[in-house]
Amino acid sequence: MTIEQIIAIAVVQGITEFLPISSSGHLLILPVLTGWQDQGLATDVMVHVGSLAAIVAYFWRDVVMLAGGTLDLVRFRMSTPARLALYILLGTIPAVFFALVLKATGLLEVLRNDAVLKLQVVAWNAIIFGVLLYLADRFGSRRKIAEELTLSPAIVIGLSQALALIPGTSRSGITMTAARAMGFQRPEAARFSFLLGMPAIAGAGLLTFLEAQESGQAITPDQWWAAAFSFLASLAAIAFLMAVVKRMSFLPFVIYRLLLGGVLLLMASGMQ
């Protein structure tokens, strides 16, 4: 890969992983838009490593709190951090199960190899889940914080996260949508989405790494650079979103999703 490809892939992953506009969707359509070869599984692993490191760096206080909560769980002490750690664990299970189903069926590989289908899937998911984000954000309550999370909302948000494995949905977008619909404040919806994303991103990275190993794709120095650029872009995206949601709604991201979906549908129709 050229340095331009590395930077573009890393920046696209870093920004779109945390803004509610779908990283998997953008990574899938990037080769179609640029004419580059698909970046491959090993590169996908490394840009996700960069994103995961950015979450840990930005939310390090929460990471320390959750680590203490995990220790409390091991000691059978149900403290507030322990409860939050448990709910994050439970919320991750649906995504793990759905990821295994997708891996077994090979549906994502079909998408990687069909340019028209990939554009259509990303486009419709961008539009549909963009509308849902608008509705949840417009009519959702603004009262709850992450520490007030109970079992039922945790399961609902976790189930929604599983849908994000379908390109164009957006992991951060669908979990923020579910959290807003369940009555959480915008900053708290974003914060819980990112914390819930840590095991999900780590799990997705591990699964993709194993797939890369099976196909004989080794990690190269270029891909380490991709991880570094992804870390910087991810950190900037997290800081940007956390600042934005304290002052305004998700409407700009909804508009972007609708425009993106419309453009991709036009492109797909022109390729048929």
H-helix segments, the chain: 3-18, 23-34, 41-58, 60-74, 80-105, 107-112, 115-139, 151-163, 171-181, 186-214, 221-244, 251-271
pLDDT one-digit tens code per residue, 40-49: 667 777 888 8
pLDDT band at 119 (very low <50, low <70, confident <90, very high): confident
pLDDT one-digit tens code per residue, 150-198: 888 889 998 999 998 888 899 899 999 999 998 898 998 999 999 998 9
Tokens 């979450």 label which residue?
A: 55
H-helix segments, 182-271: 186-214, 221-244, 251-271
Residue 129: partners with Cβ closer than 8 Å, 6 or more residues away: 163, 168, 169, 170, 173, 174, 177, 257
pLDDT band at 82 (very low <50, low <70, confident <90, very high): very high
**What's the average model confidence in pLDDT over 61-87?**
93
Max mean pLDDT range (100-104, 134-138, 266-270): 134-138
pTM: 0.86
**What's the average model confidence in pLDDT over 113-125?**
86
Structural domain count, the chain: 1
Q: 79 vs 69, 72, 217, CA distance in Å?
A: 7, 7, 43
Q: Are 199 and 92 in contact (CB under 8 A)?
A: yes
What percentage of the chain has pLDDT greater than the value 90? 40
**What's the average model confidence in pLDDT over 1-5?**
81
User: Which domain range does residue 157 map to?
Assistant: 3-271
